Chain A
Amino acid sequence: MAAQTTMSRSPLSQQSFRAIAAHAILITYTLIALFPVVIILINSFKSRNAIFRSPLSLPNSETFSLIGYETVMKQGDFVLYFQNSLIVTVSSLAMVLLFGAMAAFALAEYRFKGNLLTGLYLALGIMIPIRLGTVAILQMMVASGLVNTLTALILVYTAQGLPLAIFILSEFMKGISDDLKNAGRIDGLSEYRIFGRLVLPLIRPALATVAVFTMIPIWNDLWFPLILAPSEETKTVTLGAQVFIGQFVTNWNAVLSSLSLAILPVLVLYLIFSRQLIKGITAGAVK
C-alpha cells in the first residue's frame, strides 16, 4: 500500500490495476472451467480423423460429421433413458418440495411437544449420507419387489432430499410475519389453506433454491441406479451413458456424442434457471 504518498492520482490507477488483475484471474479460471466441456462438444461434431488430427479446432465443412450421434441413436436407447431420468427427477423433486415444505411449516409454525426433537431427527440426514444404508435398502427393495422399478429410485431420492429441504425451508418460514397468518385465521382460513395460499407463494425463492440443490445430485447419481435399477428399461441417463461408453470405448465419435447428449439438456436447463438460482442463494443470505 504505497498509495498514501500520491493520494491525488493513485486511488484510480490502483483501482484499475486491481480490476484488471481480478478479470485476469476470473477469465483464466473461467477458461479452465469451460475448456473440457467445450472440447467435448466441438469434437463430437467432427469426423474421426479430425478428432485426432486437430482436437482444438472447430468443425468446418470438411471435418463436420454426425456419425457419432447416428451411432448413439442407433445403438443406445437414450430417449428411454432420458424419459426415465425425467420421471425420477421430477417425481422425487415434487415429493421433496411438497412434503418438505409441509414438514418445515409444521416445525416453524406450531409449538408442540417434541418439536425440537423432530427437527433434529429430520436434520440428521444432512450429515449422514443415505448411501451407508444401501445394503439394507437393497434388501428392502428386493423384499417388496421394487428392484428395477423407478419407484424404488423415487423413494430413495425423496428420503435423500428431505432433510436439507426441511432445514432450509423452515429457516425461511420462520421469517414470514405472524400478522399475515393471523389475519388469514381471522378470515376463517383453515391451517391447510394458510399453508397453501399464504405461505407457499411467499417462499417461492427458497423453493427454487431447494429445487436446484435437490435436482442436481438426483439427475447425476450413479450409485442407486447402478444398484437398485440397472435393468435396460429403468436405466437413467447417467447410468445409460456410463454403460454405453463402457461398450464403445474405442469408438471416439460415439463416446464424444453420448457425452454431449448427456451434457446438453442439463446445460440448457441450467442456463435458463441460473438467474433464479443465484437469486435464491443470495436471497437466503441477504433476506
Chain B
Amino acid sequence: MEKPIQKPAIRWHILVFIAPAFLIYTAIMIVPLFGTLQLSLYKEIEGAKVFVGLENFNTLFGDPRWSESFWNALVNNTWFFVVHMLVQNPIGVLLAALLSTNTLRMRAFYRTSIFIPTILSFVIVGFAWKLILSPLWGVAPNMLDAVGLKFLFAPWLGKEEYALTTLALVSVWQFVGIPMMLIYAALLSIPDEILEAAECDGITGMSQFWKIKLPLILPSIGIISILTFVGNFNAFDLIYSAQGALAGPNYSTDVLGTFMFRTFFGFQLQLGDPHMGSAIASAMFVVILCGVSIYLFGIQTRLRRYQF
C-alpha cells in the first residue's frame, strides 16, 4: 500500500492524486477478478452457495460434455490467434514500411483510410461482412465472377471448415490498422543518421529494411504480439454478432469468450451457471497469464533495446 509518509509530514497531495484511480481500479477490476476466481470454487446446491473446492474444474476438464466444448473453444481460439499472427502482423509491418518511405505521396490519405475499419464496432463489421459474403445478396460471388474465379465461392460463414478462418480474416481486416500505426511510429523514430550511415555502406531498399530497420523495431513487434494475444483470447463481440451466442455452424467458431458467455447466461435449454462461468473465466485467466509470462520472461528480456 502507498504510505505517503516522509519524515516531517504526510504529503497528502500524493494520496489525493492517486486515490481516485487506485480505488476505482481496485473496486471494479481487481476485486471482481479475484471474486470470480473465488466463485469458481463454489456451487449452488439447493439454493445455497456451497464450497466445493476444485469440483467445478473437475467437471470442466473431466466431464466429456464440458471438456469437449472447452478444448474445442481453446483450439479455435488458438487458431484465431495464429491467423492474426501470420496475416495481420506481417501485413501491418509491410504497410507501415511502405508508409514510412520519405518520398511517398498521399501518405496521410492511405494512413487515414486503412485505419478506418479499426474504429468501427464489431457489430458493424460482423454484419457488414455477413451481408457481403452472403450468397443471397451476391456481392462476393459476383465480384469473383468478374475476375473469372466464381468457382472459388462458397458460403464461407456457413461452412464448418471455413467459418472460423473467415471470421479470423474479417478480424484481421478490421485490426490491421493497429500494428500498422505502432510499427509506423517505431519506424519514424529510427534516427536519420543510422539510415544515412547504412546508405553510405550501400545498404538500401529491401536489404536496409531487413538488416537495419527490422532489428530496431523488434521490440514493437513483441508488444504487438502480446497485445494481439490478449485481445484474441478475449474475443467475443465479432463472433457473437456474426454467428450468435451458439457460435455456429455446429460450434465451429466457438471461442473461450462465447463459451463463457453461454455458460454464464445459459442458452436454449441449459440454465445459466455463474459458478461454471467463473471456472471458465479462471481457465482463461490462466491461459492469458501463461501467454503474458512467456512474453515477459521469455521474449522481452531477450529483445535488445537500442537507445538513441
- Binding partners A and B: yes
Closest to A125 in B: B29
Instruction: Count CB-based A-B contacts (< 8 Å).
Output: 273
Q: With both chains docked as a complex, state the minimum distance between the C-beta of B207 and any C-beta of chain A, in angstroms.
A: 7
- Is B241 touching A100 in the complex (CB atoms < 8 A)? no
What number of B residues sit within 8 Å (CB to CB) of A? Answer: 96
The listed residue (B21, B103, B116, B176) touching A19 by CB distance below 8 A is B103
Contact with A along B87-109 (1 / 0, CB 8 A): 00001001100110101101011
- Is B288 touching A135 in the complex (CB atoms < 8 A)? no
- Is B14 touching A112 in the complex (CB atoms < 8 A)? yes
Set of chain B residues within 8 Å of A39, measured between Cβ atoms: 128, 132, 139
- Is B14 touching A262 in the complex (CB atoms < 8 A)? no
Q: With both chains docked as a complex, state the minimum distance between the C-beta of A21 and any C-beta of chain B, in angstroms.
A: 9
- Is A162 touching B119 in the complex (CB atoms < 8 A)? no
- Is A136 touching B36 in the complex (CB atoms < 8 A)? yes
Docked CA distance A223–B292 (Å): 23
- Is A222 touching B32 in the complex (CB atoms < 8 A)? no
Q: DSSP class of A's interface residues: helix, strand, loop or mixed?
A: helix
Query: Is residue A210 within 8 Å, beta carbon to beta carbon, of the partner chain?
Result: no
The listed residue (A55, A110, A238) touching B14 by CB distance below 8 A is A110
- Is B18 touching A118 in the complex (CB atoms < 8 A)? yes
Contact with A along B202-221 (1 / 0, CB 8 A): 00010100000000000000
- Is A285 touching B237 in the complex (CB atoms < 8 A)? no
- Is A105 touching B124 in the complex (CB atoms < 8 A)? no
- Is A102 touching B111 in the complex (CB atoms < 8 A)? no
Closest to A243 in B: B123
Query: Is residue A186 within 8 Å, beta carbon to beta carbon, of the partner chain?
Result: no
Set of chain A residues within 8 Å of B94, measured between Cβ atoms: 25
Query: Is residue A278 within 8 Å, beta carbon to beta carbon, of the partner chain?
Result: yes
Closest 3 pairs (CB-CB, A-B)? A136-B35, A133-B32, A220-B121
**Can you list 28 A-B pairs with a CB-CB distance of less than 8 A?**
A18-B205, A19-B101, A19-B103, A29-B114, A33-B114, A37-B128, A56-B142, A103-B18, A107-B18, A130-B33, A132-B284, A133-B29, A133-B35, A135-B274, A136-B39, A136-B278, A140-B35, A156-B28, A159-B29, A163-B25, A216-B118, A238-B122, A259-B124, A259-B127, A266-B119, A267-B116, A270-B115, A286-B189
